[in-house]
């Protein structure tokens, strides 16, 4: 165990001991977690902490009566120009990192590289998870409220707990789980005075909700028994002991904390079970004598809570996914932002040796030193762009994709890739619609202007020829088809190839924005001297800097590529492009001294993002 872990575990142990003594002093009438605020422990950007940290952070917030569950590191405080109040102490949070090495060469690789490999290639690497700790401070421990008073009031309102206590409380998620029997084992309601989980029959038996003095007590009990059921040999495989043994007491503590954390996430102040008072001394003794014991408990609680919350459908990210997806804020990962700026690779290199070019040792040494300097400059500039990306995130000008968006993106990758197939399987299992909406733009036969100089389009649809107006809205041309009365009214935004035909009709020789996405635009010069409307001099415009540079392409006709593929390229992603010879390849934009080029690449996707942000 690392030197960093020991003091962190001691803090965990001391906090747990304080809470247990507090519960005992209240004659087991005080809940594990009070409800001084709503919401989950998270950092300032809204990223939720994992279940490994939830219990400790809930305990900490209650101990010091913090107003919100928002925490930040010292470095994050500095970025926000926020000061830590003098005399305040930090608290450690833990998360898993992966050490990935090649079994033969011992070379260490990144998680992103490992996830880009297929299953056969991944077997050549050894993956070792290990815990890391970071120290965090609650917002109450900083001068955030003084520096940003308006933001502070918004945050307080966001986490203010206003739900009234009601004896007729019902929880829809747990009710549906029991009613539809979607839990990992059967749950039976009986008129009796005892609740229990039976490992032998792998089933839960509960009294009916009418037998409890209030609704919340029923759900406390249900969550406790559901926590026990996660330990079945075919699930998390915890060892169950007989009543009165160490293993039995160990399992009871896991069930107590798992139901308490899940209940708190549901907005319930879960009461400890008074019959477990007999195990309190044993729990305190184990935690006091061995600080690693609390880590083992928290790891088991983490797994149990994750299983329960997924089983009943409580998922904080999914509950807000639709709102986030519908947000107009541009979506971009750090890698995509780096690629859009021409810094896709993690290092800069040029070949020093080349066949047919003989160089002296001195020339080789000079070229090598030049390459080293170029690499240093490249890395410095790349770091600056990373900082720029983080600032955009903090200001809310861009956002990272949600888990569902990552799955949809990967599922639309090349069908031969294992990562694409894996993403499609996950989408199917979770009921996620990943297939893009297909355009139903009718076949347009002709554009013309009437006597009032209004633009019309004649188009063929469902066996008939129609004539409708085309509306010009800023840079967009919109064709409306169907009728609201018949329920098939549709607005079609005309694609670039149709806009070229309109420009040809206008008789313009113009610079046209062919496609746009994120901070990049594809620009071309359109000549209408021929029937085809030739495009020449492709260029890339960086909207953030206003700089326009040439796009050098060979063996690719951009006019023949789908608009979705061009959008992906401009946003820094790789896309399927078809060459003039009919070969389909994954390509991406790459920066070169002469401007921009198209570079053949490979898709890299992590279906399940298990990274933890502090």
Q: How would DSSP label each residue in 544-585?
A: TTTEEEEEE-SSB-GGGS-HHHHHHHHTT--EEEEBTTS-EE
% of the chain residues with pLDDT over 70? 74
**Average of pLDDT values for 221-231?**
91
- Residue 574, both tokens: 């790789």
**Average of pLDDT values for 303-319?**
74
pLDDT at 485 over 70: no
- The count of structural domains within the chain is 4
**Average of pLDDT values for 276-287?**
62
177 and 313 part of one domain: yes
Q: How would DSSP label each residue in 345-399?
A: SSS----S-BTTB---HHHHHHHHHHHHHHHHHHHHHHHHHHHHHHHHHHHTSSB
Residue-level pLDDT at 275: 60
Residue 145: closest CA among 82, 57, 203, 188? 82
Long-range contact pairs involving 450-455 (C-beta distance under 8 Å, separation at least 24): 455/502
More confident of the two residues 170 and 173: 173
Residues 6+ apart with CB under 8 A from 477: 455, 470, 471, 493, 494, 498, 499, 502
Residue that is last in its domain, among 317, 340, 357: 317
- Find which of 31-40, 113-122, 279-288, 318-327 is predicted with most confidence, using mean pLDDT: 113-122
Q: Give the model's confidence band at 141: pLDDT under 50 very low, under 70 low, under 90 confident, else very high.
A: very high
Q: Give the model's confidence band at 531: pLDDT under 50 very low, under 70 low, under 90 confident, else very high.
A: very low
Asked whether the beta carbons of 423 and 605 are under 8 A apart, the reply is yes
**Average of pLDDT values for 170-190?**
87
**Average of pLDDT values for 18-36?**
64
Q: Are strands 510-517 and 520-527 parallel, antiparallel or unpaired?
A: antiparallel
- Residue 392, both tokens: 């955009």
**Average of pLDDT values for 5-21?**
66
Cα 313 from Cα 229, distance rounded (Å):
17
Residues 6+ apart with CB under 8 A from 598: 551, 553, 556, 569, 577, 587, 588, 589, 590
What does R_g of the chain's alpha carbons equal in angstroms?
Answer: 30
Q: Give the model's confidence band at 24: pLDDT under 50 very low, under 70 low, under 90 confident, else very high.
A: low
Q: For 241, left (φ over 0), alpha (ψ -120 to 50), or beta?
A: beta
Write the pLDDT tens digit of every residue in 432-477: 776 654 457 788 878 887 766 678 888 877 767 788 888 877 667 8
137 and 238 part of one domain: no
479 and 594 part of one domain: no
Write the pLDDT tens digit of every residue in 145-161: 898 888 888 888 878 76
- Alpha carbon of residue 386 to chain centroid: 18
Beta strands in 123-231, from DSSP E residues, in sequence order? 125-138, 187-190, 196-198, 203-207
Cα 450 from Cα 467, distance rounded (Å):
11
Residue-level pLDDT at 7: 63
- Residue 260, both tokens: 């308490």
More confident of the two residues 397 and 588: 588
578 and 528 part of one domain: yes
- Residue 31, both tokens: 């809940």
Please report whether residue 422 resides in a domain: no
**Average of pLDDT values for 301-320?**
74
Asked whether the beta carbons of 15 and 1 are under 8 A apart, the reply is no
Cα 119 from Cα 116, distance rounded (Å):
10
- Residue 38, both tokens: 């709503």
Write the pLDDT tens digit of every residue in 368-390: 788 778 878 878 888 888 888 87
The average confidence (pLDDT) of the chain is: 76
The residues that bridge with 449 in the sheet, in sequence order, are 455
489 and 451 part of one domain: yes
Lowest mean pLDDT among 98-102, 521-525, 609-613: 609-613
Residue-level pLDDT at 165: 41
Please report whether residue 195 resides in a domain: yes
Q: Give the model's confidence band at 204: pLDDT under 50 very low, under 70 low, under 90 confident, else very high.
A: very high
Residue-level pLDDT at 246: 78
Q: Where are the alpha helices (DSSP H) in 267-360?
A: 280-289, 292-312, 316-325, 334-340
**Average of pLDDT values for 524-549?**
67
Q: Give the model's confidence band at 229: pLDDT under 50 very low, under 70 low, under 90 confident, else very high.
A: very high
Beta strands in 153-296, from DSSP E residues, in sequence order? 187-190, 196-198, 203-207
pLDDT at 412 over 50: yes
Question: With the CA atoms of 8, 12, 13 and 17 taken in that order, what torsion angle do they form, in degrees rounded to the nearest 10?
Answer: 150
Lowest mean pLDDT among 63-67, 180-184, 243-247, 610-614: 610-614
Place of tokens 């780096």: 338
Residue that is last in its domain, among 132, 159, 186: 159
**Average of pLDDT values for 154-181?**
73
Q: Give the model's confidence band at 230: pLDDT under 50 very low, under 70 low, under 90 confident, else very high.
A: very high
Cα 385 from Cα 325, distance rounded (Å):
25
Residue 20: closest CA among 251, 260, 272, 220? 272
178 and 216 part of one domain: yes
Cα 325 from Cα 313, distance rounded (Å):
19
150 and 55 part of one domain: yes
Please report whether residue 610 resides in a domain: no
More confident of the two residues 456 and 610: 456
Lowest mean pLDDT among 5-9, 287-291, 412-416: 5-9
Residue that is last in its domain, among 317, 344, 375: 317
200 and 305 part of one domain: yes
Please report whether residue 258 resides in a domain: yes
Spell out a b/e string for 276-292, using b for 16 or more CB atoms within 10 Å of the CB, else e: beebbebbbebbeeebe
Please report whether residue 346 resides in a domain: no
Cα 505 from Cα 528, distance rounded (Å):
9
**Average of pLDDT values for 185-197?**
86
Asked whether the beta carbons of 264 and 19 are under 8 A apart, the reply is no
Please report whether residue 327 resides in a domain: no
Q: Give the model's confidence band at 325: pLDDT under 50 very low, under 70 low, under 90 confident, else very high.
A: very low
Please report whether residue 275 resides in a domain: yes
Cα 237 from Cα 186, distance rounded (Å):
18
Spell out a b/e string for 428-461, using b for 16 or more CB atoms within 10 Å of the CB, else e: eeeebebeeeeeebbebeebeeeeeeebebebee
Cα 12 from Cα 6, distance rounded (Å):
10
Run of H or E residues at 55: helix 51-64
Cα 371 from Cα 198, distance rounded (Å):
67
Q: Can you give the length of the chain in residues? A: 614
Cα 289 from Cα 487, distance rounded (Å):
72
89 and 132 part of one domain: yes
60 and 108 part of one domain: yes
| Domain encompassing residue 58 | 36-159
85 and 192 part of one domain: no
Long-range contact pairs involving 574-577 (C-beta distance under 8 Å, separation at least 24): 574/601, 574/602, 574/603, 576/414
Full-model pTM: 0.44
- Residue 132, both tokens: 């890391």
pLDDT at 164 over 70: no
Residue 241: closest CA among 226, 255, 262? 255
Asked whether the beta carbons of 311 and 177 are under 8 A apart, the reply is yes
More confident of the two residues 533 and 197: 197
Sign of CA dihedral 480, 481, 485, 486: negative
470 and 570 part of one domain: no
Q: Are strands 70-72 and 42-43 parallel, antiparallel or unpaired?
A: parallel
Please report whether residue 3 resides in a domain: no
**Average of pLDDT values for 474-503?**
77
């Amino acid at each position: 165990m690392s030197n960093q872990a020991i003091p962190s575990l001691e803090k965990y142990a001391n906090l747990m001991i304080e809470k247990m003594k507090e519960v005992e002093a209240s004659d087991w009438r005080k809940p594990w977690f009070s409800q001084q605020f709503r919401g989950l422990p998270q950092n300032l950007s809204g990223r939720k902490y994992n279940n490994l940290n939830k219990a400790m952070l809930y305990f900490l917030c209650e101990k010091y009566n913090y107003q919100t569950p928002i925490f930040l590191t010292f470095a994050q405080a500095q970025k926000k120009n926020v000061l830590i109040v003098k005399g305040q102490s930090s608290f450690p949070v833990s998360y898993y990192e992966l050490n990935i090495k090649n079994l033969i060469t011992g070379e260490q690789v990144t998680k992103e590289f490992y996830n880009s490999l297929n299953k056969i290639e991944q077997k050549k690497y050894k993956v070792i998870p290990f815990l890391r700790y970071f120290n965090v401070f609650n917002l109450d421990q900083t001068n955030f409220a003084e520096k940003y008073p308006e933001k502070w009031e918004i945050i307080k309102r966001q986490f203010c707990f206003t739900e009234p206590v009601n004896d007729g409380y019902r929880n829809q998620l747990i009710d549906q789980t029991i009613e539809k029997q979607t839990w990992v084992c059967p749950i039976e309601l009986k008129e009796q005075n005892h609740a229990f989980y039976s490992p032998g029959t792998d089933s839960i038996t509960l009294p009916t909700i009418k037998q409890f003095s209030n609704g919340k007590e029923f759900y406390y009990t249900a969550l406790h028994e559901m926590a026990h059921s996660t330990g079945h040999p075919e699930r998390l495989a915890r060892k169950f002991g007989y009543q009165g043994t160490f293993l039995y007491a160990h399992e009871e503590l896991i069930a107590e904390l798992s139901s308490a954390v899940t209940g708190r996430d549901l907005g319930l102040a879960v009461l400890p079970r008074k019959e477990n008072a007999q195990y309190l001394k044993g729990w305190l003794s184990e935690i006091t004598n061995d600080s690693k014991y609390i880590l083992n408990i928290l790891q088991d609680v983490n797994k149990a809570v994750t299983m329960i919350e997924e089983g009943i459908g409580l998922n904080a990210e999914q509950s807000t996914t639709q709102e986030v997806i519908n947000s107009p804020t541009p979506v971009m990962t750090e890698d995509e932002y780096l690629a859009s700026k021409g810094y896709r690779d993690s290092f800069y290199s040029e070949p020093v040796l080349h066949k047919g070019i003989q160089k002296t040792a001195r020339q080789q040494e000079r070229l090598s030193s030049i390459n080293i300097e170029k690499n240093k400059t490249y890395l410095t500039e790349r770091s600056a762009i990373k900082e720029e990306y983080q600032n955009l995130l903090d200001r809310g000008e861009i956002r990272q994709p949600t888990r569902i968006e990552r799955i949809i993106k990967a599922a639309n990758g090349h069908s031969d890739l294992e990562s694409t197939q894996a993403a499609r399987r996950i989408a199917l299992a979770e009921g996620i619609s990943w297939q893009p909406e297909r355009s139903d733009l009718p076949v347009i036969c002709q554009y013309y202007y009437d006597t009032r100089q209004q633009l019309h389009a004649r188009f063929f649809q469902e066996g008939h020829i129609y004539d409708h107006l085309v509306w010009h809205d800023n840079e967009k041309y919109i064709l409306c088809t169907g009728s609201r009365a018949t329920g098939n009214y549709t607005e079609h935004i005309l694609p670039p190839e149709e806009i070229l035909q309109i420009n040809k009709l206008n008789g313009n020789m113009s610079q046209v924005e062919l496609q746009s996405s994120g901070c990049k635009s594809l620009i071309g010069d359109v000549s209408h001297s021929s029937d085809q409307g030739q495009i020449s001099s492709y260029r890339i415009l960086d909207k953030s800097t206003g700089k326009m540079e040439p796009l050098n392409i060979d063996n690719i006709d951009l006019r023949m590529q789908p608009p979705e593929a061009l959008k992906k390229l401009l946003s820094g992603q790789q896309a399927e492009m078809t060459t003039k010879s009919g070969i389909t390849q994954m390509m991406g934009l790459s920066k070169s001294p002469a401007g921009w080029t198209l570079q053949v690449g490979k898709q890299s996707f992590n279906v399940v993002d298990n990274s933890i942000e502090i």
